[in-house]
Structure 1
Amino acid sequence: MPWDYPQPFTQPAAPQAQDIDGLNHTNNAVYVQWCEKTAWAHSRALGLDLHDYHRLDRAMAIRRSAYDYLLPSVVGDALTLGTWLVASDGKLTMERRFQLIRNHDQATVLRGHWELVCIELGSGKPRRMPEEFCRAYLPALATR
């Protein structure tokens, strides 16, 4: 597939009837939900899950998100959603990218991007990434 970055973490996706909106294509909010589920699956694959976030009293929270909806998808489309961690200062911030590809023609349906900041769950305030975050996430940073 024509991925924007090498070696994406991928998850299959397929619009269901309940995902289709009044314009007869997949509702934009569904793509956002798929991105969130795929980001968590990627984090778990890297060794950090929600339990670890609570144990460490830290989380990578979305500070900003942006999505480019490039093409519609419909019921019956087989899609693959890829994600990467692409940048981090190793202290407070990370950047995650998404790309959704329609399998049959390899067309990119969506691109997304999150700016993440490490927060202390108890206070909601920005805090330095714990060493466990650095060990899991920093080696996974993609390069073009």
Structure 2
Amino acid sequence: MPWDYPNPFLFRVTPCSGDIDGLAHTNNAVYVRWCEQAGWAHSEQLGLDLDDYRRLDRAMAIRRGEYDYLLPTLLGEALTLATWLVAGDGRLAMERRFQLVRDSDGATVLRGRWDLVCIEVSSGRARRMPAEFVDTYMAAVVQP
């Protein structure tokens, strides 16, 4: 596949009937849900899950999300969603990117980007990343 960055975390998806809207293609909100699922799966694969977030009273929260919907997808199409951590300051912020590709022809159908900020779960306020976040997430940041 023609990935935007090296070494993607891959998450396979296929639109089902509940994902299809009145225009007979995948509803835009479904792509946002898939990105969230892929982001969590990548974090878990790296070694940080929701239980760790609760234990540390810290979470990486989406401060801003952007999605470019390039092509429609249809019921039953095999798709691969890639995600990467592409930047991080090791203190408060990280950036995650997404690229959704149609398996049949390799066409990129969506690109997405999240700006993430570390928060204290109990208060919702921005707080410095704990050492476990820095060690895990910063080691996974890819270079273009």
TM-score scaled by structure 2? 0.99
Deviation at 1:76, TM superposition (A): 2.1
4+ runs deviating over 3 angstroms: none
Deviation at 1:57, TM superposition (A): 0.2
Contiguous gaps of at least 5 residues in structure 1: none
> Is residue 56 from structure 1 mapped to residue 56 from structure 2 by the alignment?
yes
Where 1:99 maps in the other structure, the secondary structure is: strand
Residue 91 of structure 1 aligns with which residue?
91
Within 1, Cα distance between the matches of 2:42 and 2:76? 25
Deviation at 1:98, TM superposition (A): 0.3
Give the letter aligned to residue 35 of structure 1. Answer: C
Where 2:110 maps in the other structure, the secondary structure is: strand
Within 2, Cα distance between the matches of 1:57 and 1:4? 33
Contiguous gaps of at least 5 residues in structure 2: none
The total of aligned residue pairs comes to 144
Within 2, Cα distance between the matches of 1:73 and 1:20? 9
TM-score scaled by structure 1? 0.99
Within 2, Cα distance between the matches of 1:30 and 1:124? 26
Deviation at 1:31, TM superposition (A): 0.5
> Is residue 138 from structure 1 mapped to residue 138 from structure 2 by the alignment?
yes
- Note the alpha carbon deviations across 1:84-119, whole angstroms, 9 max, x for none: 000001000000000000001000000000000000
RMSD: 0.4
